[in-house]
Each structure stands twice: as C-alpha cells, then as structure tokens.
Amino acid sequence: MTTLTAPPRASSLRWVLTDSWTVARRDLIHWTRNPTVIVAGLAFPIMFVLLYGYVFGSAMIVPGGVDYREFLMPGMFAQTMMFGAAATISAVAADRARGVTDRFRSMPMAQPAVVVGRSTADIVNSVLDLAVLVGCGLLVGWSPNAGLLPTLTAFGLLLLLRFAMIWVGIYLGLIVSEEAAGTTWALLFPLTMISNTFVSPSLMPPWLGTIAEWNPLSATVAATRELFGNNVPELVGTSWPAQNAMLLAVAWPVVIVAVFLPLAVRRYHSAVR
C-alpha cells in the first residue's frame, strides 16, 4: 500500500513561490494587454495633480512661502496608493464572477499562490504608477529635498500602505459582485478626502480635524512629507497622531494587513467551494 507523505517544507515553499509568480505573471500580462485600464488608472491621479496643483492650488497660501505643489504631492502619492484598492477589488471580483477563481481552486497548485500572486502583481503595478506620478510631480515643480535615504524610505511607506490596501481589496473583491466592484470608488472618497492630503486638519472644524488626523492615510502623508523634506512646521498639529505620524505610518498598514490578510485567505477558501 502506498503511503502519501507531505512534501518537505522547503519544497512546499518553493511550490508556493513558483505558483505565486505564475499567477502574478498572468495578472501582469492581462494588465499590459488592456492599455485602456492603464491609461484610466493613471489619468485620475494626474488629473488631480493638475486640478489641485494649478486650479485650486492657485488660491492656496502655505505658511512660510512654501509652494503648494510641494505640500500637495506627497498627499497625491499616498492617495493614489489607497485608491489602488479599487483596482484590486475590480480585478478579484471579475475573476470570481467569470469562474477563474474556481478554475484555480481545481488545479494542482499551491492555493495561497492565488492571493499571493494577486498581491505581487498589484505591487508591481503600483510601483509603475508611482513612478509615473513622481515624474508628473517633478514636471509641476515638486522635488524631494531631504536626501536619498529618506526619499527611499518615503517610497517604502507609500508601498506599505498600498500593500495593506491590496488585502482589503482582495477581501472585498471576494465578497462583492463584479457590478458592485465598480462603485467602490465612492467608498474610498471619504477616506481620501477627510485627511491631510489637500489641507491641514488644523484648518478643519475640530471634530472633522480629529477624524482626519486619525485617518491611516493622513499618517502616511505626514510621514512622507517629513521624509521628502516637504513638511510645513506651521501646519503640523500638536495632537498625538500628528506628532507620531512616522509610527502610525507603519502601525496602521501592519494592523490592516493583520486583519484583512487572514480574512481574505479564509474568504477565498470558502468562496470557491
């Protein structure tokens, strides 16, 4: 009688990594073969840069004579990372509605590879989106002023936020229908607008400013402004979140991943049975 034994731990890990890259490569190929999706995804943040940087920004006066676009761009980078969750939700919901997720589940492959591959592909896409948006920022007059290491750290915090939002997106994509996935932008707008992206929470009504200061997006924006050297001391609040933005910029994404990663994996296994 033949006895089935579990594969060695190293082989199992290699299996997961190989299958994860296969799924990620599949998602990246789909992305490159749909240029309209690329253009639409990049047009939105670029439009916001031009709209807020030149139209509304012409009426903004930043203390200390700082150019408003320098204050704005770190917020735009972080906002784009958070809005990326909508793309993840749409892609996951589409795969589930079209039976792709079911086919993956029936194949002889490492099951964690489906969600790990999805997250890998989305991170790669986000790096490219961020690179384009940085180029746009440089064109409108933004620049990092604090050196190479702080700048790289700032980009790391932005991608950490995006990584956390990927798991939110995977979980929601496994719940909502393909049609409902297209409306998730409306849910993200309050999270991105009630923040320090465009103005300091200290200039908002007290109750709204408190909400904005505790917004996970605000922590990343404040931390990256400091790391890029685009911070305006006069606009930094005295509250605990404002004074500990760097800590919260790491803590919030870690908490989000700790909550939504297991939820997404559990939902994936139950949704396709």
Q: What is the 3-state secondary structure (H, E, C) of 213-227?
A: HHCHHHHHHHHHHHH
Q: What is the overall mean pLDDT for the chain?
A: 83
When pLDDT is averaged across residues 140-159 and rounded to a whole number, the result is 92
Tell me the CA distances in angstroms from 11 to 18, 25, 112, 119, 218, one per residue in order.
10, 21, 14, 22, 42
Range list of β-strands (E), the chain = none
Per-residue pLDDT band at 24 (split at 50, 70, 90): confident
- In this model, does residue 216 exceed pLDDT 60? yes
pLDDT, tens digit (0-9, with 9 covering 90-100), for 28-86: 787 777 777 667 767 777 787 777 777 766 667 776 667 788 888 999 999 999 988 88
When pLDDT is averaged across residues 155-182 and rounded to a whole number, the result is 91
Ranges of each domain in the chain:
27-271
When pLDDT is averaged across residues 214-238 and rounded to a whole number, the result is 88
pLDDT of residue 5: 46
pLDDT of residue 11: 54
